[in-house]
Amino acid sequence: MKKMKKPQGIILHCTATPEGRSVTVKSIRNWHKARGWDDVGYHFVIGLKGELWAGRSLEFQGAHTKGHNNSVGVAYVGGLTSDGHTPKDTLTEAQEATFLRLLETLRAKYGDLALQGHNEFSSKACPSFDVVEKFGYEVCLRDDPSTQEDESEGDDPDGPVLPLDEIVDEE
């Protein structure tokens, strides 16, 4: 496993398991090892009741988001409808509370890491919601486009197009 450098951010995942079904880190570790990985791919897993479980050591890069594994991977248990067929935001209040505390802890350790969802890097639905819509720009430490200054305001670099037939030689 590669050593983690300063993490680039925090990426939220779901375990893609049916709503309400309990899943342990041990079983996720087994699924991931069956894929040939050395360890569970996430650094933290949040159980249905908001339990915070350690996954892979933060000393090592994760195996959770292709091309972005030098980031902290967190997965909440759930993310699918109870029949297991359709992505669904199943984050419980207890899971959300634990996750928000974990964010604070990670930021105290590493500085202001932005929060992103796996679906911002991949066509997958994971974590089955839009993290910015759910938690807000401030919690995600992301730029809110609506508060950004419009740099082009009062300034039209191209200027009005002057019709060619109005250009005359100076007399």
Annotated active-site residue 140? The verdict is: no
Q: Closer to Zn ion at the Cβ: 13 or 56?
A: 13
Q: Which residue has the tokens 């730029």?
A: 143
Residues near Zn ion (CB under 5 A) are 13, 118, 126
Whose Cβ is closer to Zn ion: residue 16's or residue 158's?
16
Structure tokens at 162: 């002057």
52, containing H or E segment: strand 52-54
To Zn ion, the closest distance from the beta carbon of 160 in angstroms equals 49
Among candidate residues 14, 32, 42, 88, the one labeled active-site is 42
Check if the beta carbon of residue 74 is closer than 8 Å to that of residue 96: no
**Active site includes 42?**
yes
Please, are residues 16 and 26 in contact by the beta-carbon 8 Å criterion? no
Establish whether 88 is a catalytic residue.
no
Catalytic residue among 43, 64, 68, 126: 126
Give catalytic status of residue 26 as yes or no. Answer: no
Minimum distance from residue 64 beta carbon to Zn ion (Å): 6
Smallest gap, in angstroms, from Cβ of residue 149 to Zn ion? 34
Please answer whether residues 75 and 28 qualify as being in contact, where contact means their C-beta atoms are separated by less than 8 angstroms: yes
Asked if 83 contacts 27 with a C-beta cutoff of 8 angstroms, the reply is: no
Nearer to Zn ion, 10 or 126 (CB): 126
User: Can you tell me the distance from the alpha carbon of 113 to that of 8, in angstroms, rounded to the nearest whole number?
Assistant: 7
Residues 6+ apart with CB under 8 A from 74: 10, 11, 12, 13, 42, 43, 44, 45, 46, 99, 102
Concerning whether 13 is annotated as a catalytic residue, the answer is yes
The helix (run of H) or strand (run of E) holding residue 46 is strand 44-46
Q: Which is nearer to Zn ion, 84 or 144 (CB)?
A: 84
Selecting among 32, 76, 118, 140, the annotated active-site residue is 118
Q: How far is the CB of 128 from Zn ion (least distance, A)?
A: 9
Catalytic residue IDs: 13, 42, 118, 124, 126
